[in-house]
Amino acid sequence: MLPKVKLLEELTESGIIAVIRRMPREQIIPIAESLVDGGVSAIEVTVDSPDAFLVIEELSDQLKGRAIVGAGTVIDSESARLAIQSGAEFLFSPSLHEEVIRMALRYGKVVMPGVMTPSEMIQAIEWGADMVKLFPASVLGAQFVKDVKAPFPHVPVVPTGGIHLDNAASYIEAGAAAVGVGGSLVHAEAVQTKDYTRIQRTAEQFVSIVNGARQSLSLSDNMR
């Protein structure tokens, strides 16, 4: 089991947390391999996917040492416990649930609840959340991240929902620790045609964009 600090480092290393939701079971491993080959360091399997806990277990074994695997759409303590027992190293929720946070803390896993307001952000941190998932990010936008990071610079924010190649950089430049990406990374058409090369190339594009935004942000900070 990786220590919490190491988990947090790996979770945000590439800046991209890939979301796999309701994909054909037989394609999940090649999809995940393509994402990792493209530079993604964290993969989330949503628990509303078929055989989600078995998939998490298989991916955790398959990607050990190359990427960390976690569970998404976790909204109750039982799902959280089953995900952790299956090998999930992090738990993500679309909403704020204290019992999910408590379960993750009990087992030393990273937990990121979904929030949409400054009050929810602080409540999540007070309950012990490691980071917060700004969801749906498409409703609030990158400017919201920038504005909320001013009074709460200590709160790691991960926007998710509506992130694509054209706006990922703006969220990182606004202060996001990483971004969660689903459909614009794991294209439905690429899955249907089993075009795993396309998925890998898209992953490479996302990682490159995030790296560029981080470098730009670092240069800007150094010039102040």
Average pLDDT for the chain: 95
Q: Tell whether the model's pLDDT for residue 221 goes beyond 70.
A: no
Catalytic residue list contains 44: yes
pLDDT at 214: 95
CB 144 within 8 A of CB 110: no
Main-chain phi, psi angles of 122, to 5 degrees: -70, -40
Say whether pLDDT at 33 is over 60: yes
Vertex 87: Cα angle to 172 and 187 (nearest 5): 45
pLDDT reading at 1 higher than 90: no
pLDDT band at 223 (very low <50, low <70, confident <90, very high): low
Query: What integer is the mean pLDDT of 28-48?
Result: 97
Question: Based on the number of CB atoms within 10 Å of its own CB, is 214 exposed (0-12), middle (13-18) or buried (19 or more)?
Answer: middle
- Position with higher pLDDT, 23 vs 3: 23
Q: Please identify which of the residues 33, 58, 89, 133 carries the catalytic annotation.
A: 133
> Per residue in 138-183, pLDDT tens?
999 999 999 999 999 999 999 999 999 999 999 999 999 999 999 9
Q: Which of 99, 110, 160 is nearest to 135 (CA)?
A: 160
pTM for this one? 0.94
Residue type, 140: L
Task: Look at residues 106, 96, 162, 168 and name the one whose alpha carbon lies nearest to residue 132.
Answer: 96
- Flag whether pLDDT at 219 surpasses 80: no
> What is the predicted pLDDT for the residue at 217?
77
| 128 has a pLDDT exceeding 60 | yes
Residue 34: CA count within 13 A, CB half-sphere:
22
| Residue 162, phi-psi category: left (phi > 0), alpha (psi -120 to 50), beta (remainder) | left
Residue 55 · residue 88 · CB < 8 Å:
no
| pLDDT at site 4 | 86
Does 109 qualify as catalytic in the annotation?
no
Torsion, Cα of 204, 112, 80, 71 (10° steps):
-10
pLDDT of 16 over the 70 cut: yes
pLDDT at 222: 59
**Whether 124 contacts 101, CB under 8 Å:** yes
Question: Which spans in the chain are helix H?
Answer: 4-13, 28-37, 52-62, 77-85, 98-106, 118-127, 137-140, 142-149, 168-173, 188-193, 196-222
Mean pLDDT of 132-136: 97
Of these residues, 44, 58, 89, 109, which one is catalytic? 44
